[in-house]
């Protein structure tokens, strides 16, 4: 029988399988490009540039994201009850109390950021605090603490590094093709490799981004399961997701760069599926950073204790 523990384990396995596929794509692209150029030197440069850009972004990610969304520290005196909820959950999870922020926005949402548990931050919107009761808020904050405890920031950073690496390689390859002497590519075999390289340079960034989105969706399912383990009350988070789905307006500061961090899509949460309504199409699914909210609610309700 499926439990919260087996659900968590399954999502961890699927996530690392996706990461392995990601590395396989990077290796394949590197081999093709190295064959076209006849030298791996340019690949080393691309790797160094990509890693440097993303390490800097990762190191200062919390400050960048919090400023981008105009988050302000929660006052532990005026917002004592909310602060106490996060503090109690942090103790239960065995995690350091993260810095706590609030975003003045009516759209109900939340996110966690930071490079590790010791440098983490959790932010919630005023809209979220307005519509949720205590058990629902506990479910949401437990979800965000689970992202911290499960080291999702690390997995996300690795994925971003790989996406950046693939994009840089593709861009360099396409630009260099304008300057390459056609005499260097004589022969049928050479021409085929060049065509393969061009095809990969166009499709690789798209494929890499799709895998990144898939990883993000798996981490959301994992955080849902881990959060339910923490509170022992899956219905709290399920109810919160239902309320969030009823609000369709986007977050005012929503951006594609940080969309994967949020509890639910900041561009407007999808509503739960009505009875008899068709499921979300596969095209919409693969281009989304979050799984359909109806599936998340169903998964949480499936793991709720039976009366």
pLDDT bin (cut points 50, 70, 90) of residue 275 is: very low
In total, how many domains does the chain have? 1
Q: What is the pLDDT of residue 174?
A: 66
Mean local confidence (pLDDT), 139-155? 88
Count CB-CB contacts under 10 A for residue 59: 13
Q: What is the pLDDT of residue 135?
A: 96
Q: What is the pLDDT of residue 76?
A: 81
CA angle 86, 88, 91 (to 5 degrees): 110
Position 189 pLDDT exceeds 90: no
Mean pLDDT for the chain? Answer: 78
Q: Are 166 and 32 in contact (CB under 8 A)?
A: no
Q: What is the pLDDT of residue 172?
A: 66
pLDDT bin (cut points 50, 70, 90) of residue 187 is: low
pLDDT bin (cut points 50, 70, 90) of residue 20 is: confident
Does the annotation list 295 as a binding residue?
A: no
The active-site residue, picked from 87, 144, 264, 277, is 144
Show the domain range for 117: 1-307
pLDDT tens readout for residues 95-104: 999 999 999 9
pLDDT tens readout for residues 281-300: 555 555 577 888 988 999 99
pTM to 2 decimal places: 0.77
Q: Are 32 and 24 in contact (CB under 8 A)?
A: no
Tokens of 91: 């103790």
Q: What is the pLDDT of residue 307?
A: 44
The 99-103 sheet, strands edge to edge: 72-73, 99-103, 120-125, 110-114
% pLDDT > 70, the chain: 60
Q: Which long-range contacts (CB under 8 A, 24 or more apart) does 101-104 make?
A: 101/66, 101/71, 101/72, 101/73, 101/74, 102/71, 102/72, 102/73, 102/74, 102/126, 102/129, 103/69, 103/70, 103/71, 103/72, 103/251, 103/253, 104/70, 104/72
Q: Is 144 a catalytic residue?
A: yes
| Matching residue, tokens 């960048």 | 64
User: 3-state class of 111 per DSSP?
Assistant: strand
Does the annotation list 260 as a binding residue?
A: no
Position 105 pLDDT exceeds 80: yes
Rounded Cα–Cα distance for residues 163 and 219 (Å): 17
Position 264 pLDDT exceeds 60: yes
Q: How far is CA 155 from CA 147, 148, 231, 246, in A?
A: 10, 11, 24, 30
pLDDT tens readout for residues 232-256: 999 999 999 999 988 878 999 988 7
More confident call, 71 vs 21: 71
């Amino acid at each position: 029988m499926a439990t919260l523990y087996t659900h968590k384990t399954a999502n961890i396995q699927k996530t690392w399988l996706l990461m392995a596929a990601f590395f396989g794509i990077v290796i394949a692209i590197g081999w093709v490009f190295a064959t076209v150029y006849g030298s791996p030197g340019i690949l080393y440069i691309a790797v160094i540039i990509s890693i440097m850009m993303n390490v800097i972004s990762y190191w200062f990610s919390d400050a960048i994201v919090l400023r981008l969304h105009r988050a302000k520290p929660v006052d532990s005196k005026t917002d004592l009850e909310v602060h106490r909820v996060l503090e109690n959950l942090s103790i239960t999870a065995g995690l350091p109390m993260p810095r706590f922020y609030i975003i003045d926005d009516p759209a109900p949402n939340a996110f966690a950021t930071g490079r590790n548990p010791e440098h983490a931050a959790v932010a919630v919107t005023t809209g979220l605090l307005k519509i949720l009761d205590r058990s629902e808020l506990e479910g949401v904050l437990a979800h965000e603490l689970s992202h911290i405890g499960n080291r999702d920031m690390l997995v996300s950073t690795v994925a971003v590094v790989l996406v950046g690496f693939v994009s840089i390689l593709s861009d360099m390859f396409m630009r260099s093709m304008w300057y390459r002497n056609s005499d260097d590519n004589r022969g049928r075999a050479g021409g085929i490799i060049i065509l393969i390289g061009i095809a990969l340079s166009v499709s690789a960034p798209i494929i890499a981004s799709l895998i990144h989105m898939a990883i993000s969706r798996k981490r959301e399912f994992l955080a849902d399961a881990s959060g339910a383990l923490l509170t022992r009350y899956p219905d709290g988070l399920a109810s919160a997701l239902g309320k969030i789905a009823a609000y369709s307006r986007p977050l005012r500061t929503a951006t594609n760069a940080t969309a994967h961090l949020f509890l639910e899509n900041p561009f407007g949460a999808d509503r739960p599926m009505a009875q008899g309504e068709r499921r979300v199409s596969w095209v919409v699914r693969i281009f989304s950073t979050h799984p359909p909210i109806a599936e998340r609610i169903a998964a949480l309700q499936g793991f709720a204790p039976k009366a």
